[in-house]
A and B are shown apart, each in its own frame.
Chain A
Amino acid sequence: MTLTTERQQSAYVSSQAADARVNIELETEGMTLNIGPQHPATHGTLRIVVRLDGEQVLWAEPVCGYMHRGYEKLCEVRTYPQVTTLVNRIDWLGHFANEVPFILAAEKLMEIEAPERAQWLRTVFFEMARIANVSLFLGDMGVQLGALTPVFYAFRDREYVLNLMEAVTGGRFHPNFDRIGGLKEDLPKGWVAEAKRVMTRVQSFCDQMEDLLMGNEIFDRRCRGIGVIPASVGLEYGMSGANIRASGVDWDLRRDEDSPLAWKHCDWKVWTHADGDAFARYWVRLQETREAAKIVVQLLDGLPSGPIQAKVPRIIKVPAGEAWAHTENPLGEMGYYVVSKGGLGPFRVKIRSASFNNISVIPWVLRGVFVPDVITILASLYFILGDIDR
């Protein structure tokens, strides 16, 4: 087990020793507490059953399924273009980003590639979905810890990004815009200039969050050293995205995989943090939002001209085969394993969503923590219920 910092080591040891200590020192009656399914910290309807000894958690067990919609089954009775409508609703804050890996998998099977301009615009919308998703986390984490102000700023500035999405796609939450072989529409007039203005706003929003929360003593005390997840444990549980980068794993699919999307044309940085605690997870996401805004501006500056849709048959039939496509979504690695038997719709779609793996670490990480820290850890792991209960 690699524990990189002293802080990480001490937190790890104390969390492991905690329930043993409780049992030896205090002979108290345990209590079972239900957190959720309606608790604000659960971002939807996740229920966590925790067994308490005083204020300390002996064990915790997440109960999912309150919102399971059976998308994997439903995908089997849709045609390929219809599937994007469903998958939009998996991570509902990172709407567009859900569509991209599915479309990439279908394009892989059909052996077609979208034109250059479409790939660049996909990347633009993808990163805007990331901003729309993560900016809410940046504010929400404050609310969970008792700071009400940040979330209002987050909703305000997120709104500008959603307005941009609406101007292009017509949908604020569910754009359903990605198509096999390209995109549905090109940009409206004047959109690029407006988008760049909004990205400046996003940057100043990130500065604002940093001013409000970083260095705030309460925030610091409640996040530092809380919920430490060592890299090896996180990886074993399949944690991905900012959560694992906050544990010091320098791994980002945008950079490390040869994706047809346009990240390779941009100058940006993958941020990691060595501590692996709640603070690190917040900090990494804050930096990532900044990088996302940077990527969007760079892409809009160099946007190639040309068609946005490759020639595809009117009725899309995908040849038999299997394809796996994954991308670095706002919540982590999202992938689709698409099995086609040749036909109008997929034979089997395995949806690998990030939050499902990210929260499977909860029973491990909550052992021995105190009840208020449960909320910090849940907030910092940042999951979307639709991404757990697909």
Chain B
Amino acid sequence: MTPLSSAADEAGTGSAGEQPTGGDGDRPSDSTLQQLVEVLKAELGDAVVGSEVSGDDVWVRVEPGAWRQAAEACERRLDMDYFCFLSGIDWLDNPDLSGEKRWDPEGATPKGAEPAGEIDDEGDDQASEGTYGTGVAGGDTRFQMLARLYSTSRKIGVTLKADLDEADPRVASWVSVYRGADWHEREAWEMYGFTFDGHPGLRHLYLPGEFEGHPLRKDFPLLARELKPWPGLVDVEPIPGDESAEDEGDAKTLAAATDEGG
């Protein structure tokens, strides 16, 4: 494979990723991926909000206004000929939706039920702070665009993100750059309520025409779970050959919880 530029590797890129081990196969090196980020920064200037290289993954977060330019830069400068997917993330923390993950064992079992309880706390903290997390796993606003492109000649891919305005999530459509974005944008439009300027026809793809709401938003209730909590939470399977005492204790509490809760 051809590296992005055969010229000197930059030292001290400050990436948190590990160096590639052994150098086997076609795995792109960190410096190759870092150069990819540099190319995008050169093309888009200040519109690149953040980037991260970790292992063989690259994330680049851009301003929503530069969303289409980011795709164009990837296509022209980085030979990203393959459109992988486009979707969104809703960073709203919704305790209702993850209800069964917050399964509160205190009512069911008197002791030793920390695993599920911890999640409960974390979820509440994040919700009360009202932030959407930071760094790679997080966004500055509630909605985030998420898309991935790949280069079949260079064998590298990039994940692009953009934080969207909560009141009016809107970006430019990619259809003029990648025709495959058509269906993906229709899906994101109906599932998240994002608007894509310049899309040839935003209409329902999966859902019936009269459907109301955006099902993948976190505040859209999952009705089946509203009526009856998911019983599968306590279904923890024993691991073959794992017989430590601590784990057995866990299994017993869980079993007890199942019996009483069931």
Q: Which residues of the other chain, B, contact A65 by a CB distance below 8 angstroms? A: 204-208
Considering the complex, give the chain B residue whose CB is closest to the CB of A233.
Answer: B179
Q: Which residues of the other chain, A, contact B225 by a CB distance below 8 angstroms? A: 77
The docked-state distance in angstroms from the alpha carbon of A237 to that of B182 is: 9
Q: Which residues of the other chain, A, contact B207 by a CB distance below 8 angstroms? A: 65, 68
A236 adjacent to B206 (CB under 8 Å): no
A311 adjacent to B242 (CB under 8 Å): yes
Q: Residue B122 at the A interface, CB < 8 A?
A: yes
B85 adjacent to A335 (CB under 8 Å): yes
B84 adjacent to A77 (CB under 8 Å): no
Do A341 and B24 contact each other (CB < 8 Å), given the known contacts A77-B100, A323-B57? Answer: no
The docked-state distance in angstroms from the alpha carbon of A264 to that of B25 is: 8
Considering the complex, give the chain A residue whose CB is closest to the CB of B114.
Answer: A315
Q: Residue A267 at the B interface, CB < 8 A?
A: no
Considering the complex, give the chain A residue whose CB is closest to the CB of B56.
Answer: A258
The docked-state distance in angstroms from the alpha carbon of A357 to that of B230 is: 32
B239 adjacent to A309 (CB under 8 Å): yes
Interface size on A, residues (CB 8 A): 62
The docked-state distance in angstroms from the alpha carbon of A337 to that of B233 is: 23
Q: Which residues of the other chain, B, contact A312 by a CB distance below 8 angstroms? A: 239
**Interface size band for B:** 35 or more
Q: Which residues of the other chain, A, contact B84 by a CB distance below 8 angstroms? A: 238, 333, 335, 352
Starting from the known contacts A257-B26, A350-B87, A360-B182, 18 additional A-B residue pairs (CB-CB under 8 Å) come to A78-B230, A78-B232, A79-B101, A232-B81, A236-B180, A237-B179, A238-B83, A314-B251, A322-B136, A324-B148, A335-B148, A340-B137, A341-B123, A348-B89, A350-B85, A356-B183, A357-B180, A357-B183
A79 adjacent to B115 (CB under 8 Å): no
B82 adjacent to A235 (CB under 8 Å): yes
A345 adjacent to B101 (CB under 8 Å): yes
Q: Residue B42 at the A interface, CB < 8 A?
A: no
The docked-state distance in angstroms from the alpha carbon of A46 to that of B68 is: 31
Q: Residue A204 at the B interface, CB < 8 A?
A: no
Do A345 and B180 contact each other (CB < 8 Å), given the known contacts A321-B136, A324-B148? Answer: no
The docked-state distance in angstroms from the alpha carbon of A104 to that of B27 is: 16
Distance from A294 Cβ to chain B, minimum over Cβ atoms (Å): 20
B205 adjacent to A314 (CB under 8 Å): no
Distance from B152 Cβ to chain A, minimum over Cβ atoms (Å): 4
B146 adjacent to A315 (CB under 8 Å): no
Supply 29 A–B pairs (Cβ within 8 Å), ascending by A. A65-B204, A68-B206, A70-B215, A73-B216, A74-B222, A76-B97, A78-B230, A78-B232, A185-B240, A236-B81, A236-B83, A236-B178, A238-B84, A255-B26, A257-B27, A258-B24, A309-B241, A311-B242, A314-B236, A317-B115, A322-B137, A323-B57, A324-B157, A341-B122, A341-B126, A344-B101, A352-B84, A357-B83, A360-B180
